[in-house]
Structure 1
């Protein structure tokens, strides 16, 4: 495929993935099409086989997928690409029912470090996971309402003359979307919606905690009755589609580039690396986690047992005919993690915020992220590895270091590196407007990151054996 074809496929991926649940579901569709087999953490696994292709999910918002080389032997290394499925956003509060001055409003909560002012005057809609009662079984359903439903209006300049010089607002009282007008809210004769005060106080069913029109819209979208809705986790998303723009089609204007870019390219590269699976001596694995934007501390975030559990089950599989040997620690010592998260491309209007010698450009390739205080996990042995991988794929690399007078963000890299004792390098594609509702990336960087990951999966075992680390 050409660079533009990769970019257009990525745009479709983003538009199909407004939430972590949708992102995992979209990744699953890519894997299933390529013949991957689903595994279940709640069951004993079948015997894993060489040339096998597998995936497993946790909470439906994190996913791990892997392929086992045809020449894999117990104790060989694993080439891992890690990323995250979540993005900063606004999430609907557990009790969101509100009205003000005749408007139906929705109570929302900030998730992650979003640039809050970018959510004003945007076309917003709702997506997420809804639990539905189907004859006593509580079944999750994906919801994506493909219609502009909400808006957070700014105050007119006539009433706030300082808005262009000082735009400050209370995030609890002003960052509240309007969804409709009370006078036009539909009335329902459904007795299940007309709860008595006693029921309201004791039951607090989902129907009573949210505006009636919202509940009815969700039910209609899912083709169910409102009374079947048990609970949900819903967030607001930018209804404007991800697009390619710029004078020469060089930009991607899109929500959630951070970090669906890494999710898409990791999954696509894993599938493409199947071409050389029969001759592979390693395991190729992607781990895409929810909750990175809020610290990864959950049952299915990068700081959970999800990846260690899967690695334990993988290394307990007998490929050599000797099931009495523990290969976990040997395998980990020979493995490597590419922690892929977006990087800061140089902003032409704010050049003073960038270190003078480290100013990554959009469309010039993935960025190696370095921080001596271990906010990123990059070390020289990893740099040697990724440079060799990139040379084989003919992918240009850039380097980013934050200024000494600026704080540095972090990723899942240091967390997993310390948790697993695995060598790690942090990198990612450059972008502008990180954590805005609309971010800007490079069209031609999508294929570059994809090709880098594919080369990593295909060449890691050979290259790793030539890089001496502990024997000086």
Structure 2
């Protein structure tokens, strides 16, 4: 990655972290890639891969570092304190690996129109779909390859070349109303162009050929041949061997450091790969040699898929991933599921739900509540909502502010205006399911859910410091909270 702007921050650590994140973002074009790269980061740091289908008893020991994946798009990593005591707390940072995007439909062939070959796509999540027009787009994801002997292999693919584009309608062909209010139809107006349509076969070509043993199966026959050719070339396999796929379109323009002083990060998927990246680095750094020596609990990062579509899946925060992780790790360390020690462990645990926040927009300042106006580059945002769209309460918000104080990094506060709708996160979902204390936190950004978003580069380091303090200092804060007497009603 070429450095195209000079980061404003003079701290070499912050500069290098921002550049590492840009490289991570460039490669992590889908949740599958994010999990694969995250797994490599963990393995290089000494984390041991576990198999969910294997027995964990005897494989997990105090002082050990581990991770596992589910369906290749969700990742759980954890480290057990060297002084782990049964019933000890889980200190969890939760984030998600998915982002709103255009995805290829299972059957990708789209009717050729006006001399152009297009790709059948569907919308995933709540994207700002107008931002996908007139952008050069690549495509990537997971491909299932079948060999001649019937063996199957899962392969990752990422075509960074600008092979797709959704062209907008020129202004001269729009009505006055259309020019004033751009409202594309997601089914008919978002179909990307892949290439020029091939010439039709000559008359009689293939006539009388009949069925052939080599004829493609119905799935392959319904795929766009030009797409299969691209995938086959990238994977170096025959096109006929592609048995299935899960493909996502992405901005072909690489992420970059931006701004006159390089103080911003510009790119797709900042929501929520910024959180994914920082959470992984913070866990790795907090569990380096010797840093688990005095730990009595478990430090954990859980990265879920499907947050942008409600989390209700086997790999989402609404599924059993988090509950099973805590239960299986505890059981492997001698804590019976649902038993006294397991319940005590949950009550002592804490979750930071890490998902990017809304920075105040300089051109739409009235959209933010007057007293809660987060700025990019000024630290993590504590998100609160009286109607529980976020899981933060007065005590958990104090914990985050205190962590910031101990780490020497700033924090900010956000509540949505009373006349605006409020988004949500995995925080309330996991908190409700497990009864665990939770704070919703995020790095502030602009253009959330756009094809290309922006955030402050310095906030990556602010967030890293906060999470590292959480893993290493939360016990001190919780002990002080535990010493508080129960409030009494005044006479």
Alignment match, 1:74: 86
- The count of residues paired between Structure 1 and Structure 2 equals 464
> How much does 1:127 deviate?
0.4
Alignment match, 2:9: none
Determine which of 222, 232, 236 is the counterpart of 1:209: 222
**Is residue 307 of structure 2 the alignment partner of residue 292 of structure 1?**
yes
Equivalent residue of 1:280, what SS? Answer: coil
**Is residue 383 of structure 2 the alignment partner of residue 369 of structure 1?**
yes
In structure 2, the CA distance between the partners of 1:96 and 1:50, relative to structure 1 (3 Å rule), is same
Residues in 2 aligned to 1:76 and 1:101: alpha-carbon distance in whole angstroms? 65
Equivalent residue of 2:164, what SS? Answer: coil
Residues in 1 aligned to 2:293 and 2:299: alpha-carbon distance in whole angstroms? 12
Over aligned residues, Cα RMSD in angstroms? Answer: 2.3
Residues in 1 aligned to 2:422 and 2:238: alpha-carbon distance in whole angstroms? 48
Spell out the pairing of 1:172-321 with structure 2 (5 A cutoff): 172-183=187-198, 196=211, 203-205=217-219, 207-275=220-288, 276-318=291-333
> How much does 1:172 deviate?
0.7
- With normalisation by structure 1, the TM-score equals 0.94
Determine which of 14, 36, 41 is the counterpart of 2:25: 14
Residues in 1 aligned to 2:251 and 2:302: alpha-carbon distance in whole angstroms? 26
Equivalent residue of 1:281, what SS? Answer: coil
Alignment match, 1:29: 40
> How much does 1:198 deviate?
12
**Is residue 344 of structure 2 the alignment partner of residue 333 of structure 1?**
no
In structure 2, the CA distance between the partners of 1:138 and 1:398, relative to structure 1 (3 Å rule), is same
**Is residue 115 of structure 2 the alignment partner of residue 115 of structure 1?**
no
Q: Verify the 8 A CA contact 1:362 1:445 in the aligned structure 2.
A: yes
Residues in 1 aligned to 2:383 and 2:337: alpha-carbon distance in whole angstroms? 40
Residues in 2 aligned to 1:138 and 1:112: alpha-carbon distance in whole angstroms? 30
**Is residue 441 of structure 2 the alignment partner of residue 456 of structure 1?**
no
Residues in 2 aligned to 1:248 and 1:217: alpha-carbon distance in whole angstroms? 38
**Bigger shift: 94-103 or 438-447?**
94-103
**Is residue 108 of structure 2 the alignment partner of residue 96 of structure 1?**
yes
> How much does 1:186 deviate?
11
In structure 2, the CA distance between the partners of 1:394 and 1:224, relative to structure 1 (3 Å rule), is same
Equivalent residue of 1:183, what SS? Answer: coil
Determine which of 420, 425, 429 is the counterpart of 2:439: 425
Alignment match, 1:410: 424
Determine which of 338, 349, 371 is the counterpart of 1:357: 371
**Is residue 394 of structure 2 the alignment partner of residue 380 of structure 1?**
yes
Equivalent residue of 1:28, what SS? Answer: helix
Residues in 2 aligned to 1:381 and 1:43: alpha-carbon distance in whole angstroms? 39
Alignment match, 2:165: 151
> How much does 1:223 deviate?
1.0
> How much does 1:327 deviate?
2.3
> How much does 1:164 deviate?
4.4
Equivalent residue of 1:40, what SS? Answer: coil
Residues in 1 aligned to 2:333 and 2:443: alpha-carbon distance in whole angstroms? 38
Residues in 1 aligned to 2:419 and 2:212: alpha-carbon distance in whole angstroms? 57
Determine which of 396, 419, 433 is the counterpart of 2:410: 396
> How much does 1:2 deviate?
2.0
> How much does 1:443 deviate?
0.9
Equivalent residue of 2:169, what SS? Answer: coil
Alignment match, 2:99: 87
| Misfit runs of 4+, over 3 Å | 161-164, 184-187, 194-200, 322-326, 468-472
The CA deviation string for residues 228-250 of structure 1, in whole angstroms up to 9 with x for no partner, is: 11100101011111101111211
> How much does 1:197 deviate?
10
Residues in 2 aligned to 1:161 and 1:4: alpha-carbon distance in whole angstroms? 48
Residues in 2 aligned to 1:186 and 1:399: alpha-carbon distance in whole angstroms? 63
| Contiguous gaps of at least 5 residues in structure 2 | 1-11
**Bigger shift: 269-278 or 343-352?**
269-278
In structure 2, the CA distance between the partners of 1:324 and 1:257, relative to structure 1 (3 Å rule), is closer
Equivalent residue of 1:141, what SS? Answer: strand
> How much does 1:26 deviate?
1.0
Residues in 2 aligned to 1:78 and 1:197: alpha-carbon distance in whole angstroms? 59
